[in-house]
Amino acid sequence: MSGDGDRYGGRPAIQLQRIDWEVRALGAKTAGLDVTRQLQDYAYSQKTAQSALCGYILKKDSPSCGMERVKVYSNGNPQKIGVGLFAEILMANNPLLPVEEEGRLGDPGLRENFIQRVFVLHRWRSLVAEGLTPSSLTTFHARHKLIIMSHGSYQDLGRLLTEINMENVHEAAEMYIGKLMKILKNIVQRKSHVNVLQHIQGYLKNNLTTDDKAELCEIIERYRIGEVPLIVPITLLAHHFRKHPDPYIENSYYMSPYPQKLQLINLKRAS
């Protein structure tokens, strides 16, 4: 759904125009063409189908599918202040849904953030499908706690679960996932990963030799200053936990937040 339809022999090109305080999708070169209602009606018709999705990639600058900074014309003058008409309704209908633009996914940090949110939401939907209980919700939180810690504070989410029971589990779960997906939108900074790595390192304090501790500290420091990618300290930590298993770390998603074959963590750039 791009605005350049006629360039490729498809539908006539459209653009967003502000008419009497309303943004409409009108023909860029075709007088009288107005597809505002068609785009909006189609977007609303997809609400049920979209409710099962765990991620959505939109088209940069598109008057129908642009996520942000889409040109809106007023008296012939464009300003990059708009949102595609389909995209706007998609995001309003699905506030939990991870959404990104295809152009922004070229940034390693944004790409990793998007994929991580996709897999978190997928695990959440699986949890809900199995049937929510106070125990299952608490376990879900525990397994994601280190990921949450890397994105920001986890205390509010933890407090939300302190008084959970079967009577209020669904209400608490709705509040929990809303807060969680909002926190996960924060792009993780290198220093936050360092804090989590050092926290994980503490689970090995009684098991490592002096030399092993020194090596691990050195690798985490080299990651902190940008000499090595995140996969390097994580691989070393995983090596030590294979020798000295810890149930909490083993069940945590932090060191394996998505399938290893994606290899996104190798590409994480310095922040």
Instruction: Supply the pLDDT for residue 268.
Output: 47
Average pLDDT over all residues of the chain? 91
Instruction: Supply the pLDDT for residue 7.
Output: 45
pLDDT digits (tens, 9 = 90+) for 174-190: 999 999 999 999 999 99
pLDDT higher than threshold 80 for residue 76: yes
pLDDT higher than threshold 50 for residue 269: no
Least-confidence region, from 4-13, 14-23, 51-60, 116-125: 4-13
- Taking CA atoms, 73 is separated from 22, 23, 249, in Å, by 11, 9, 53
Instruction: Supply the pLDDT for residue 8.
Output: 42
Q: What is the mean pLDDT of residues 137-151?
A: 96
Q: What is the mean pLDDT of residues 135-156?
A: 94
Q: What is the mean pLDDT of residues 151-161?
A: 89
DSSP labels, 172-237: HHHHHHHHHHHHTTSPPPHHHHHHHHHHHHGGGTTTS-HHHHHHHHHHHHHHHTTSS-THHHHHHH
Is residue 64 within 8 A of residue 86, CB to CB? The reply is: yes
pLDDT digits (tens, 9 = 90+) for 116-137: 999 999 999 999 999 999 999 9
Place of tokens 């809900």: 128
Annotate 9-51 with three-state secondary structure.
CCCCCEEEEEECCEEEEEECCCCCCECHHHHHHHHHHCHHHHC
Q: What is the mean pLDDT of residues 34-61?
A: 96
Which of the four pLDDT bands, split at 50, 70 and 90, describes residue 204? very high
Least-confidence region, from 72-86, 130-144, 254-268: 254-268
